[in-house]
Amino acid sequence: MERVKKLRIGNGLDPTVEVGPQVNEGQIETSKKYVGIAMAEGAELLTGGVPLQEGEHLNGTFFAPTVLGSVTPCMRIAREEVFGPVVSLIDFDTFEQGIEIANSIDYGLSTALYTKDVNRAFTAMRDLEAGITYINAPTIGAEVHLPFGGVKHTGNGHREGSEAIDFFTTWKAVYVDYSDTLQRAQIDNAE
């Protein structure tokens, strides 16, 4: 928890900042609500869980990076999208059980797995139900050079990225002959 408490929180445009603001005051309320629900369901607040409203955070929508322990897969905090700096720790015994827990929710935007075991990495890539899976990297949520979007109930079913151009475009093939003569179809040119 000490590492979480030391995260630099501030203007997201500052390259030294590790946690930027939430999008608006409504999202702060959502984060607070989910922390409260988690605690009411038996989760343990390990750090954070409150808006930051003093000093350099006075005029922004900042929420303390939050870690919840003693979370079970059936709790709402483990099953719903918070969209805040809130992480839930869920204990499990086997790799397969971890995959099962990850896939048991209705959402599938982004997943990450840290491992030195190449077999587990490839199993996770195959079995995790998510729009993007990172191996040994954080879930930043988007790679602009790749199609991006969630699966199951995440997103609207479309992939963002270069494929979005295709989604919003009607392609038309055009052939222009500049010879100023009537051309016969290629099939008519056979001798």
In order of their start, the domains of the chain are 1-91 (3.40.309.10), 93-185 (no CATH)
pTM of the model: 0.77
The backbone region for 152, taken as left when phi is positive above 0, alpha when psi lies in -120 to 50, beta otherwise, is left
- CB of 114 closer than 8 Å to CB of 79: no
Q: What string of DSSP letters covers 111-133?
A: EEE--S-HHHHHHHHHH--SSEE
- CB of 25 closer than 8 Å to CB of 53: no
- pLDDT value of residue 164: 63
Residue 123 exposure: Cα atoms within 13 Å on the Cβ side: 13
- pLDDT value of residue 24: 96
Q: Which residues of the chain have pLDDT under 50?
A: none
- pLDDT value of residue 154: 77
Q: How far is CA 67 from CA 14, 94, 130, in A?
A: 24, 22, 22
- pLDDT value of residue 161: 58
- pLDDT value of residue 153: 81
For residue 26, count other CB atoms closer than 10 A to its CB: 9
- pLDDT value of residue 25: 95
